[in-house]
Amino acid sequence: MIIEPKIRGFICLTSHPAGCEKNIQNQIEYVKSKGNINGAKKVLVIGASTGFGMASRISSAFGSGASTIGVFFEKPPQEGKPASPGWYNSVAFQKEAAKAGLYAKSINGDAFSREVKAKTIELIKADLGTVDLVIYSLASPVRMNPETGILHRSVLKPIGQPYTNKTVDFHTGVVSEITIEPCNEEDIANTVAVMGGDDWSLWMDALMNAGALSENAMTVAYSYIGPSLTEAVYRKGTIGRAKDHLEATAFSIADKMKAIHGQAFVSVNKALVTQASSAIPVIPLYISLLYKVMKEKQIHEGCIEQIQRLYSERLFTGNKIDTDEKGRIRVDDWEMRTDVQDDIATLWPQATTETLPALGDLPGYKSEFLKLFGFGFPEIDYTKDVQENLEMPGLVSL
């Protein structure tokens, strides 16, 4: 079929298999161009099909020659209906891994469930014995807690008082003011239940109890802080409470992992255009200014550059891992540089529908957004028929 972007709000309903493949190939080429990383050899990535998780899978496989198992929740294609992009990304990853002679298997299902955890452990035991690294990179709006049977929905709201600021509709470029009403206590608890550390902890307990972790194994989950400009809706909002919980969980997991001389960390990453971040009000305007400023200073990074740097300059240097005073690894260091944030603070009040094209990098935002769905790659002829109904090599059925 011929596949075109069908955009609704902050999501795109279609995705292009050839474009997604190109996106994965570009990331693989980048990692290869940076040379070998002396990293983990047997890696489990939870949330492995898009964004930071896919970048982690690629950095492990093509940076360190690792065997990888990826867990994700994606919509398979149907005749005449494209799959979600993470499906096509994973098809492409599996193909490239096979070409390179690398072990790679994937599990498509709800990572929050007991069933997916059990299946993953069974696969690790059968094929790899143990894993040396577990990357936890889930971003989800809902979680069914398997212990309680309660379905939790996360919200992106401020706490305590309404929050008014500017945002941009990145499709039209219209800058407007929005007010987000504050959450209630239940919203906080629900958001923490979905995006906090509870499920990460359940995964690590299950892996450890099954003897599926190697001696000296490490686990890393991803967090975000950001500037004071966005803190009412991010770090001091409901999602920030979840990130506080995730960061605290790193310590309790680290304690348990002492038994195998293992380690657990949170890495604070940079704000980037992903499916998850496009859904947060105010953040798209911030990102479009951030991209402009960081590109001008030649320090812009995407997911793959971030994770390649996390691996090569933080996790696998052979030295003790550097953290901040709260025990977190920081690869948001360039985003948070004073000169970068000072420039954004100056631009922020000036940003309007009329001025944003000059002040911000809206074209960069839009093009990154489309690329998440496999659109906008100059090498791809989008007028050509493509096979949408792609099977995934290496997919393990549940």
Binding site for ligand NAI (CB under 6 A): 47-53, 71-74, 86, 110-112, 137-140, 222-224, 269, 271-272, 274-277
* Catalytic-role residue among 88, 234, 286, 291: 234
Minimum distance from CB of 95 to ligand NAI (Å)? 18
219: which 2 tokens?
């686990």
- We find the least distance from the C-beta atom of residue 89 to ligand NAI, in angstroms, to be 8
CB of 299 to ligand NAI, least distance (A): 16
Residues paired with 11 in a beta bridge: 8
Complex with ligand NAI: residue 51 or 376, whichever CB lies closer: 51
- Residue identified by tokens 């709260």 is 326
Residue 85 CB, shortest distance to ligand NAI, in Å, is 9
Picking from 356, 354, 373, 290, the residue whose alpha carbon sits closest to that of residue 8 is 373
9 contact partners, CB below 8 Å, separation of at least 6: none
Q: What is the CA radius of gyration of the chain?
A: 20
Cβ contacts of residue 97 below 8 Å, gap of 6+?
61, 68, 103, 104, 394
> Which C-beta is closer to ligand NAI: that of 192 or that of 272?
272
Q: How far is the CB of 263 from ligand NAI (least distance, A)?
A: 19
Q: Among residues 287, 374, 378, 377, which one has the least CA distance to residue 335?
A: 287
Contact 70, 393 (CB under 8 A): no
Closest CA to 314 of 332, 335, 301: 332
DSSP 8-state symbol, 196: S
Of the pair 12, 139, the CB lying nearest ligand NAI is at 139
Going by DSSP bridges, is the β-strand pair 163-169/151-153 parallel, antiparallel, or unpaired?
Answer: unpaired
Give, rounded to a whole angstrom, the gap between the first and last alpha carbons of the chain. 29
Instruction: State the nearest-atom distance from the C-beta of 318 to ligand NAI, in Å.
Output: 26
DSSP string, 227-284: -GGGTTTTTTSHHHHHHHHHHHHHHHHHHHHGGGT-EEEEEEPPP---HHHHTSTTHH
Q: How far is the CB of 264 from ligand NAI (least distance, A)?
A: 15
Judged by beta carbon, residue 42 or residue 57, the one nearer ligand NAI is: 57
How far are the Cα atoms of 97, 248, 383 from residue 30, in angstroms, in the given order? 15, 33, 28
The neighbour count for residue 66, using CB atoms within 10 Å, is 24
291 in catalytic set: no
Place of tokens 């919509």: 75
The amino acid at 386: V
Q: Give me the least distance between CB of 194 and ligand NAI, in Å please.
A: 9
Q: Which two tokens stand for residue 157?
A: 């709201």
300, 306 Cβ separation under 8 angstroms: no
Active site residues: 234
